Chains A and B, each alone.
Chain A
Amino acid sequence: MSGNPFDWIALAEYSAIGLLSGGLLALIALGFVLIYKGTGVINFAMGEFMMLGAYFFYTTNVMWRLPTLLALVATLAAVALVAALIERTVLRPLAGQPVISVLMATIGLASALHGGVDAVWGGANLEMPALLPRKPFTVGEILVPGQVVWSFVLAATIITAFTLYFRFSKTGVAMRAAASDPITAYVLGIDVRRTQALTWIFAGMVGAVAGIVVASMTSLSPALGGAALGVLAVIILGGLDSIAGAIVAGLIVGLIESLTAGYLGGKVRDIVPYVTVLVILLVRPYGLFGTRQIERL
């Protein structure tokens, strides 16, 4: 028997970090779920919204030296504008087209946005200011970096705010109605087109915030765009149309990523979400909470 006791501290640390960083993943997943629930589209360009948010913030905050809050507002406004433009010029003409077409359109969009950002800002790693306090939190012997904790708090706040908004506000309820049955909603006087535009704007802003936080925690480069694709694993696990599922799945994927990075090394970390997707598809294709689609004959 070896003399080394099992390192519980390490396990606890990896788990804590994993769960907490899953908060950010859940936030990105929220962006996907918003658009899917709101418009029935899987938005492959989510990662590019993150990129836009991070790069716009970099431009306003670092290059133009605007104060953080102002830069944030300007960034969100810019991303909202881009999202609304995309909804208007790409998604709306394709309404009613088969799912495949819209899916491929978002893929094309992702490619165009990715290339655009790469072309304008260049491919080099850029330094983002640290937005979240770095001071680590200690519980007993477990040490968790401050940024991870605060990113979780931020994500949880935003997700809670959205959930409450959809539940209780007039616009939120209108959006849910339009998502579930656009024709009836239209007949009831709800401006379905406006709610769909709003859905994209919200999703874009959520992505932008997530992008800014991720970039400030790591670094800013075009590779940021690929981060969201891993989050699609979250979506599959949580079910495409369930916000609760997105949250749980985000935490789980964060946990798995952290544990594999801790015990198997950093390189494997990149493909963990993808391997997870393939495994899940084998076992439980509709995810934890997703609704099985019933076809009307």
Chain B
Amino acid sequence: MPMADAPLLQVDGIELAFGGIQALRDVSLTARRGAITAVIGPNGAGKTSLFNAVSGFYKPQRGRVVFEDRDITRANASRRAALGLARTFQNVALFRGMTVLDNIKLGGHTRLHANPLTAMWYLGAAHREEMALRREIERDVIDLLEIDHVRNLPVAALSYGLQKRVELARALAMRPKLLMLDEPVAGMNREETEDMARFILDIQEERGITVLLIEHDMGLVMDIANHVVVLNFGQVIGQGTPAEVRANPEVVRAYLGSAAAAAVPA
């Protein structure tokens, strides 16, 4: 699997504080192009805060976010989306008033051109771009994620696992360069988790999309991640390949306590 060496995303020395709480302290990480990078850590370690800083919802007090050699630290969330950043949320953030298909189509929003006037007239340009989008979504997203049987259902009617898949589909429809997944398999059973793992690997291999994910499911992380970054209390306490991280006594101490750390072979 060919991987260019230049990092797609570079986070440098992020400091993020809310009131008296220091959420992130001098956090740096690199997401290599085409790789799957996982961010793990105990609850409250600052993983979602990191995601929010990267996607543009929180402005860090210090530090930079560099995407494709472009400093996006000052850019707002919708600007970052236009540059190729897509993310999913911990609590499924689908639009409950719409069908699966409409939700996914929203992923293509920035690539369409209809304005209110052409939209109201509809015939001609608007119709054409809608049909093109529909074909593209069916071919590239719905087929890949195997959700054709629910495409016209309202999202509120779907099971939790399917909703998370639709959210992934919507992010994919953005044709992102970087896909940020916040706990993509949270609350899923074994079978759903394996399906999701398969989808993420397909996305990486077939589309060459760089993936950055937050996860608690160690099985998933160890299986599919190329690179793992461990956060605890807002700081990076270790990173490397899954095997390296698993053997890191600091990491073990953070998760399991110091007795367990002592038991790790050097």
Contacts and interface: CB of A to CB of B under 8 A. Distances in A.
Interface in A273-297: 297
A240 B57 CA distance: 25
4 contacts: A297-B48, A297-B52, A297-B57, A297-B89
Contacts of B48: 297
Interface string B137-170: 0000000000000000000000000000000000
B195 to A, nearest CB: 26
Interface of A: 297
Please classify how large the interface on chain B is, using the bins under 10, 10 to 19, 20 to 34, 35 or more. Answer: under 10
Q: Specify the main secondary structure of chain A where it touches its partner.
A: loop
Contacts of B52: 297
Interface string B47-61: 010001000010000
A97 to B, nearest CB: 13
A297 B50 CA distance: 12
B113 to A, nearest CB: 30
Q: Which 4 A-B pairs have the closest CB atoms?
A: A297-B52, A297-B57, A297-B89, A297-B48
A116 to B, nearest CB: 34
Nearest to A295: B57
B18 to A, nearest CB: 9
Contacts of A297: 48, 52, 57, 89
A77 to B, nearest CB: 43
A297 B89 CA distance: 8
A190 to B, nearest CB: 26
Contacts of B57: 297
B51 to A, nearest CB: 9
A232 B262 CA distance: 65
A297 B48 CA distance: 9
A297 B52 CA distance: 8
Nearest to A294: B18
Nearest to B55: A297
Interface in B181-234: none
Nearest to B58: A297
Interface in B46-93: 48, 52, 57, 89
